[in-house]
Chain A
Amino acid sequence: MNLIYTEEQNAFRREVRSWLEAHVPRQPLPSFDASREGFEAHRQWERVLDEGRWGMVTWPERYGGRGLDLIQWLIFEEEYYRAGAPLRVNQNGIFLLGPTLMEYGTAEQKSRFLPKMASGDEIWAQAWSEPQAGSDLAAVRASATLDGDEYVLRGHKIWSSRAVFADWAFGLFRSDPGSERHKGLSLIFFPLDAPGVRVQAIPQIDGETGFAEIFLDDVRVPAFNRLGAEGEGWSICMATAGFERGLMLRSPARFQVTARRLVEFFKACGTAADPVIRNAVLKAWMDAEAYALSIYRTASRLTAGGQIGAEASTNKIFWSEMDIAMHKTALSLLGARAELSRHAPDAVEAGRWLDGYFFSLAGPIYAGSNEIQRNIIAERMLGLPRV
């Protein structure tokens, strides 16, 4: 066990840091979920990242990445969050669909979709859930009917993050009409501006439109847009979900930076006398450290050829609960200012913590609710019987 960065890793960190210092926008960008303007500003940032070849550092070089290992990815992310760089508007594409495409896509699909994903020319949304298929995702009803060399898509998708302004979506469809549950599903891409697609924004708890409903009414897409074999959509989605819950969705640096902000805020508030809040602040820092150590350990194992398993589900529960606790602690520190919106003259830090708190409440729900994750842990890690 060796917990010391190599000289090469230190040099890599310096390289990332100096590039970010030169390129990260001085002013924070407007939210990508609140307006087209904010969305396009983030798309522009994706282009800047891609030009510097910093957009997808773990992708192979031939697709615009750097082919870095997971330890280098962690270092990159640490510097990224340290620099306060913008959130990744194409996260669904780069971290979820991208790796899945590389594993299951044909050469033609890879060259069609990966470069534009990398450049930010095509921003991706996820279209899995349906009104009747949430935690029970295998209840998907939206259909894909093969007609010549085209699929005809029909149905209703919901809770699709980024779908309001994004260009493409990857969705789970029932391609075998007689099939049930996990069988007969296919993963198919469709452009969000195709004829027959209607996107209806859903205002979120914070008033922004980060997710949407998608109505598909005889939308025709080439069969080329199916990822993997027909009927294999479920296992491909689960592979994607593995990436999502496992490492790439929430890098540890995000929480370490929040924990640092919280400690600094606590010190500035001068309320060191309240042991309850003080303990919560210390706990926030410790949890962020524990999460990071756990990911370093997993990254070391995966870099040496190991596989990620059901422990991905423990990650998702841990970070989502930690995120809520950190933001709630900040709200206690704010006292009466906790309720101020970010536009209030007295808000200063307040609105930011409140927005973060709202967003943190989504954590235990998206990417598979924490209840589903606990079932996975109980059944696959602990071996308890399925019902």
Chain B
Amino acid sequence: MDFRFSDEQVMTADVVRALLAEVCNSQDLRRLLTSGGTWDEARWKKLSELGFAGILVPEDNGGLGLAPADLVQVAEACGYRCLPEPLVDNVGIAVPLLAAFADRPGVAPYLERALAGEITVAVSHPVNPYVAHADRASAALIVRDDNLHLVAISPDRLTVQPSADPFRRLHTIALAPGDATRIAGREEAEAPLRHTLDRGALFTAAQLLGMAQGCVDLAVAYAKERQQFGRPIGAYQAIKHHLASVQVKIEFARPVVYAAAADLPHDDLHSRARISQAKLAATEAADLAAHTAIQTHGAMGYSWEVDVHLYLKRVIALTEAWGGPSFHRERVAARVFNAPLGPETIFARETDYARLCP
């Protein structure tokens, strides 16, 4: 029992944090916003050079064979900076799903290029009707009637669905009927899609967690500077207590997100409940953080001029991504109302029931 990240995991996260501070700071976001773009090629190149594309892909398929716990803090760091590009979605969610079908016809060329960091892959899953950055992807994995399809992205398949988030270009993807694109039927797709949903929820939770802290830090910086009644507004308890309450939410969402990352590979009732709890807790923290940050900024918070609105809009987007609160509450309910409870079950797995209920 050791609930700490390894030195390597800490180091990896530090590298990503440092890189993002350099290439994804407020000025960078502003520049992209002004240009009307959703993708900064220079930044994407640097992110690709980190070599994360195959981080969750088994070594046999040409990946690094690492675990969700190796990526969770990276996702948190991306959220903290409100990173526009879908690094996390690509390497944490899409590429591992593609790799699960490496042996199917037509998959290998895409997988090879995805692992090389040359292309991105989009996933259209029933819980997410809209797919962000599909226009930039080379291929999409599409779930239709529980079957999994792989299609090459072409403009005629895409319908743009503008998002309030200026950095998320959403699409619906058309799929022509017929089996030519199908790479897996219902039964073989079931488990990989279940894992994909878990990764989606976990890494979305991690991003929301980072965004929550990002919002608090923006608000704290502003509250230290902004003077009213002759002192910084951050000296007033009204402001302090709002921000402290957000920090409490963050502090108690973080260990759930980290534990969910460690538990994900168990793939059982308990790991699913913990991932769902992580999504719920991180969403709650990010939601409170975003509107508290707006309130702390006063009228500035309601303006286009400060970055808080970028976070707010991403929070709105990610709240429903990979399952909204109602969806995840039911996954928690499945564990709470049907399985043993109590302090001795905190790290239990389904296979431990015999021991727990002698």
Whether the pair A286, B241 counts as a contact (CB closer than 8 A) is no
Instruction: Please judge, given known A-B contacts A1-B4, A289-B256, whether A375 and B237 are in contact too, CB under 8 Å.
Output: yes
Given contacts A1-B3, A304-B4, contact A381 B247 (CB under 8 A): yes
Chain A residues with CB under 8 A of B254: 294
Whole-angstrom distance from the CB of A97 to the nearest CB of chain B? 26
Q: Which residues of B contact A382 (CB under 8 A)?
A: 216, 220, 240, 243-244, 247
Q: How far is the CB of A163 from chain B (nearest CB, A)?
A: 31
Within the assembled complex, what's the spacing in Å between the Cα atoms of A71 and B1?
Answer: 8
Whether a CB of chain A sits under 8 angstroms from the CB of B161 is no
Q: Cβ of B303 < 8 Å from any Cβ of A?
A: no
Contact check, A3 vs B347: say whether CB atoms are below 8 A apart: yes
Q: Are A375 and B333 in contact (CB under 8 A)?
A: no
Instruction: Identify the closest chain B residue to A272 (Cβ).
Output: B337
Q: B164 near A: Cβ within 8 Å?
A: no
Task: Assess the B256–A297 pair: CB atoms within 8 A.
Answer: no
Q: A5 near B253 (CB under 8 angstroms)?
A: no
Shortest Cβ distance from A266 into B: residue: B337
User: What is the distance, in angstroms, from B303's C-beta to the closest C-beta of chain A?
Assistant: 23
B interface majority secondary structure:
helix
Q: Which of A27-35, A257-265, A353-361 contacts B (4 or more CB under 8 A)?
A: A257-265
- Is the pair A285, B252 in contact by a Cβ cutoff of 8 Å? no
| Chain A residues within an 8 Å CB radius of B247 | 314, 377, 381-382
Instruction: Please encode chain B, from 66 to 81, with 1 for each CB lying within 8 Å of some chain A CB and 0 for all others.
Output: 0001000000000000
The B-contacting residues of A in range 245-297, CB under 8 angstroms, are 252-253, 256-257, 259-260, 263, 267, 278-279, 281-282, 285-287, 289-294, 296-297
- Neighbour of A282 across the interface among B3, B224, B256, B329, CB < 8 A: B329
Complex interface: chain A residues within 8 A of B128 (CB):
none
Residues in A neighbouring B3, C-beta threshold 8 A: 1, 3, 293, 296-297, 299-301
Bound form: Cα–Cα A294–B262 in Å: 14
Indicate if the CB atoms of A318 and B347 lie closer than 8 Å: no
B124 within 8 A of A: no
User: Taking CB as reference atom, which chain B residue is nearest A71?
Assistant: B1
Q: What separation, in Å, do the CA atoms of A163 and B121 have in the docked complex?
A: 67
- Whether B347 lies near A5 (C-beta < 8 A) is yes
Q: With an 8 A cutoff between CB atoms, is A6 at the interface? A: yes
A317 and B234 contact, Cβ closer than 8 Å, known pairs A1-B6, A82-B342:
no
Partner of B259, one of A252, A293, A314, A379: A293
The proximity string for B residues 162-180 relative to A, scoring 1 for CB distances below 8 Å and 0 otherwise, is 0000000000000000000
> Does any Cβ of B come within 8 Å of A107's Cβ?
no
- Looking at B231, B281, B332, B341, the one whose CB has the most chain A CB atoms below 10 A away is B341
- A343 sits at the interface (CB 8 A): no
Q: Once bound together, how far apart are the Cα atoms of A299 and B189, in whole Å?
A: 40
In the complex, which residues of chain B have a beta carbon less than 8 angstroms from the beta carbon of A304?
Answer: 2, 4
> Is B343 touching A292 in the complex (CB atoms < 8 A)?
yes
B346 engages A289 (CB within 8 Å) = yes
A9 at interface, CB cutoff 8 A? yes
Contact A260 B342, CB 8 Å, known A1-B258, A2-B2, A290-B255? yes
Q: Would A300 and B239 count as touching, CB distance under 8 A?
A: no
Chain B residues, CB < 8 A from A381: 244, 247
A291-B252 in contact (CB<8A): yes
> A259: shortest Cβ distance to chain B, in Å?
7
Q: Chain A contacts of B280 at CB under 8 A?
A: 286
Give the total of A residues in contact with B, Cβ under 8 Å.
59
Min C-beta distance of A68 to chain B, whole Å: 13
Known: A252-B343, A385-B235. Contact between A378 and B241, CB under 8 A? yes
Contact A1/B69 with A371-B237, A382-B216, A387-B235 known, Cβ cut-off 8 Å: yes
Complex Cα distance, B337 from A267, in Å, reads 8
Judge if B251 is at the interface, Cβ distance under 8 Å: yes
Distance (whole angstroms) from the CB of B274 to the closest CB of chain A: 8
Asked if B336 lies at the interface with its beta carbon under 8 angstroms from chain A, I say: yes
Across the interface, do A286 and B281 meet the contact criterion of CB distance under 8 Å?
yes
B312 CB within 8 Å of chain A: no
- Asked if B235 and A318 sit within 8 Å, CB to CB, the answer is no
Given A4-B347, A82-B343, A290-B256, A374–B1 Cβ distance below 8 Å? no
B159: Cβ under 8 A from any A Cβ: no
Q: Which residues of B contact A (CB under 8 A)?
A: 1-6, 9, 69, 216, 220, 223-224, 231-232, 234-235, 237, 239-241, 243-245, 247-248, 251-256, 258-259, 261-263, 274, 277, 280-281, 329, 332-333, 336-337, 341-344, 346-347
Give chain A's interface residues, CB within 8 Å of chain B. Answer: 1-6, 9, 13, 71, 77-79, 81-82, 252-253, 256-257, 259-260, 263, 267, 278-279, 281-282, 285-287, 289-294, 296-297, 299-301, 304, 311, 314, 317-318, 371, 373-375, 377-379, 381-387
Known contacts A317-B245, A383-B224; can you find 7 more A-B pairs with CB under 8 A?
A1-B2, A1-B262, A285-B341, A289-B277, A296-B1, A382-B240, A382-B243
